[in-house]
């Protein structure tokens, strides 16, 4: 049996602490601590099949021995780390609830007067709302790839593929490249139990499934709930009945979509209870409100809201959140669990904005599936009693890409260092009202076309000769630059490009930097790759994708 370097580090620290306590000599304590630090830091983490190349942090020796030699974190993060350290010696648990197509204005903490969400109200009152929290795409697959990898989907090749377009379809030969390092794999290196319960949508072939991407346990559907049995008119492929899977096996097909929220919640509660005594990461991507015109809900919620099936589904999601928060308290682990509620992109909405039967992104501009604020800015709440200040709001730009590096550092590890990670450490944004966004530029892509860039309060839509699914121009319509102050002009109603030429110039330069790194289309619509892009996962040559079928 192999012993990990981290285990050696823990044992060494315990031995040194015991010796120091017996001799009561500060000089010896300091010497032993320095010796231990040199010993542990000289060791490298054990390798996984993906060869994770990053250093795993060891417990701080000054904390273990009651001394203080100096900070090992930056000044900007020190208060956040100190406050987190006081919550307990065990690393925090992490839960991410990732709703499907939930709009910015769909829940009460973000302004809904139509949907009743008392549990989310409570979560916001006890935690922190993020009003400028963004995803990296207006659709499912690329958005989920960014959360998993801490990277723009363009960097990891998950923004587009020749067969499926911008979201993966059933029986596809493509998926998240197994060589990418996921948030689950990073946390497993730190000793975490990991589970994924809900909608995956990063590849339905065995090599792409959650159990091959760092998750100990998977229960859910491999793609969107609207991808049911049919012959796909694009390539003539046959899609199977929507499969419900447990780990690598189909356990029900077609799955009962009405019961998904309830069953996912029950399975999540069971898994949490089973792992309450160890650090855990639960990725909980809910299926609802989803991509169908009439979302699904269980009998208890069906027909009970004031907004038809969409409202029913959202109110059941709120119930699910309440059950989870209550269980964390009942198990005595609430103060050691960081919970993030967010969405994969904005709501599809109806052309008539007064018709909220397919969600609301108000007061933001635009619909899901585009590069509008309504597609990219999503309702987000962070909750960790005793650490995150209750009833507070963060108005700084942060994104789903930030979860991987932030969780890694909170867990006592660090992000991968052998590759580019686009996300940032946002520990300070979780607790500090005076912290600033770590982003100097954030990019808005529609598949492989860079359409906009944000820096600070400014969002620039770059000039395009042939925009794709543009929130301000029709297809084929040549577009000039548009500049919006997305803080003061939340609905993006006033173009101020002419009033701020220096801002326009600076953001155009940032856009150039982005397209050189992540690729773009030229004026004739021809794609050109970026220097920093990596490959999408694909089945080996000669291998054919197979449907996920009930056996």
- Write down the H helix ranges in 66-139: 75-85, 118-126
Burial of 392 (0-12, 13-18, 19+ CB in 10 A): middle
Secondary structure class of 381 (helix, strand, coil): strand
Least confident of 49-53, 194-198, 311-315, 373-377: 49-53
What per-residue confidence (pLDDT) applies to 81?
A: 53
Its sign, for the CA torsion 234, 238, 241, 246, is negative
What the block records as the tokens of 118 is 């008392």
What per-residue confidence (pLDDT) applies to 325?
A: 99
Residues annotated catalytic, as ranges: 140, 201
pLDDT in tens, 407-439: 999 999 999 999 999 999 999 999 999 999 999
Average pLDDT over residues 531-535: 98
What per-residue confidence (pLDDT) applies to 23?
A: 40
Burial of 187 (0-12, 13-18, 19+ CB in 10 A): buried
Q: Which residue has the higher pLDDT, 74 or 320?
A: 320
Confidence band, pLDDT 50/70/90 cuts, at residue 15: very low
Confidence band, pLDDT 50/70/90 cuts, at residue 523: confident
What the block records as the tokens of 466 is 């042939």
Average pLDDT over residues 348-375: 93
Q: How many residues does the chain have?
A: 551
What per-residue confidence (pLDDT) applies to 479?
A: 74
Q: Which residue has the higher pLDDT, 31 or 340?
A: 340
Q: What is the mean pLDDT of the chain?
A: 88
pTM of the model: 0.86
pLDDT in tens, 435-474: 999 999 999 999 999 999 999 999 999 999 888 888 988 7
Confidence band, pLDDT 50/70/90 cuts, at residue 514: very high
What per-residue confidence (pLDDT) applies to 84?
A: 56
What the block records as the tokens of 30 is 């300091």
Element (H, E) at 426: none
Please list, in sequence order, all residues whose beta carbon lies within 8 angstroms of the beta carbon of residue 542, skipping any fewer than 6 positions away: none
Please list, in sequence order, all residues whose beta carbon lies within 8 angstroms of the beta carbon of residue 464, skipping any fewer than 6 positions away: 449, 451, 470, 473, 478, 479
Decide if pLDDT at 44 tops 60.
no
CA–CA distance, 167 with 331 (Å, rounded to integer): 38
Total Cβ atoms within 10 A of residue 509: 13
What per-residue confidence (pLDDT) applies to 473?
A: 84
Confidence band, pLDDT 50/70/90 cuts, at residue 64: very low
Confidence band, pLDDT 50/70/90 cuts, at residue 88: low
CA–CA distance, 219 with 394 (Å, rounded to integer): 33
Least confident of 4-18, 135-149, 504-518: 4-18
What per-residue confidence (pLDDT) applies to 143?
A: 99
What per-residue confidence (pLDDT) applies to 261?
A: 99
Check: CB of residue 137 under 8 Å from CB of residue 125: no
What per-residue confidence (pLDDT) applies to 105?
A: 98
Half-sphere exposure of 407 (CA within 13 A, CB side): 35
pLDDT in tens, 226-266: 999 999 999 999 999 999 999 999 999 999 999 999 999 99
For residue 394, list its beta bridge partners. 130
Element (H, E) at 218: strand 217-221
pLDDT in tens, 292-304: 999 999 999 999 9
Check: CB of residue 480 under 8 Å from CB of residue 472: no
N- to C-terminal Cα distance for the chain?
A: 37
Check: CB of residue 455 under 8 Å from CB of residue 442: yes
- Write down the H helix ranges in 127-274: 140-149, 183-189, 260-274
CA–CA distance, 199 with 240 (Å, rounded to integer): 16
């Amino acid at each position: 049996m192999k012993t990990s370097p981290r285990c050696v580090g823990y044992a060494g620290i315990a031995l040194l602490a015991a010796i120091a306590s017996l001799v009561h000599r500060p000089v010896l304590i300091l010497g032993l601590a320095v010796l231990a630090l040199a010993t542990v830091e000289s060791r490298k983490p054990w390798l996984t099949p993906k060869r994770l190349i990053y250093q795993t942090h060891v417990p701080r020796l000054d904390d273990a021995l009651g001394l203080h030699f100096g900070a090992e974190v930056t000044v900007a993060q020190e208060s956040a780390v100190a406050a987190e350290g006081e919550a307990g010696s065990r690393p925090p648990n992490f839960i991410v609830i990732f709703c499907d197509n939930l709009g910015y204005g769909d829940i009460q903490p973000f302004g809904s007067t139509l949907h009743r969400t008392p549990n989310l109200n409570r979560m916001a009152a006890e935690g922190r709302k993020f009003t400028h929290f963004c995803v990296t795409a207006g659709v499912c697959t690329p958005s989920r790839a960014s959360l998993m990898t801490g990277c723009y989907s363009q960097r990891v090749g998950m923004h587009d593929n020749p067969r499926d377009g911008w979201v993966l379809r059933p029986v596809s030969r493509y998926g998240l490249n197994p060589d990418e390092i996921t948030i689950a794999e990073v946390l497993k290196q730190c000793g975490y139990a990991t589970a994924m319960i809900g909608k995956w949508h990063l590849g339905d072939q065995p090599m792409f499934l959650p159990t091959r991407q760092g998750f100990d346990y998977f229960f859910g559907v491999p793609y969107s709930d609207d991808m049911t049995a049919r012959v796909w008119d694009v390539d003539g492929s046959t899609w199977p009945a929507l499969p419900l899977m447990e780990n690598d096996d189909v356990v029900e097909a077609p799955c009962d979509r009405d019961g998904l929220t309830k069953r996912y919640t029950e399975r999540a509660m069971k898994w949490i209870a089973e792992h309450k005594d160890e650090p855990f990461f639960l990725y909980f991507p809910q299926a609802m409100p989803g991509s169908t015109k009439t979302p699904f809900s269980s009998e208890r919620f069906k027909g009970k809201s004031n907004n038809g099936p969409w409202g029913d589904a959202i109110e059941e999601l709120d119930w699910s959140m309440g059950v989870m928060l209550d269980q964390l308290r009942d198990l005595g682990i609430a103060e050691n669990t960081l919970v993030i509620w967010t969405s994969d992109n904005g709501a599809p909405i109806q052309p008539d904005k007064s018709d909220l039967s397919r969600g609301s992104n108000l007061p933001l501009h635009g619909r899901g599936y585009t590069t509008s604020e309504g597609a990219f800015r999503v309702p987000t709440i962070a909750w960790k009693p005793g650490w995150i200040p209750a009833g507070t709001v963060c108005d700084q730009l942060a994104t789903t890409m930030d979860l991987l590096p932030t969780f890694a550092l909170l867990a006592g590890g660090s992000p991968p260092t052998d590759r580019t990670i686009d996300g940032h450490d946002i520990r300070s944004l979780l607790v500090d009202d005076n912290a600033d966004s770590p982003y100097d530029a954030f990019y808005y892509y529609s598949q492989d076309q860079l359409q906009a860039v944000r820096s600070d309060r400014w969002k620039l839509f770059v000039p395009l000769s042939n925009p794709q699914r543009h929130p301000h121009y029709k297809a084929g319509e040549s577009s000039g630059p548009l500049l919006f102050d997305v803080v003061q002009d939340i609905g993006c109603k006033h173009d101020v490009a002419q009033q701020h030429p220096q801002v326009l110039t600076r953001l155009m330069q940032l856009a150039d930097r982005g397209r050189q790194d992540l690729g773009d289309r030229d004026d004739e619509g021809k794609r050109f790759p970026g220097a920093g892009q990596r490959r999408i996962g694909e089945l080996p040559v000669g291998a054919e994708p197979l449907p996920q079928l009930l056996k």
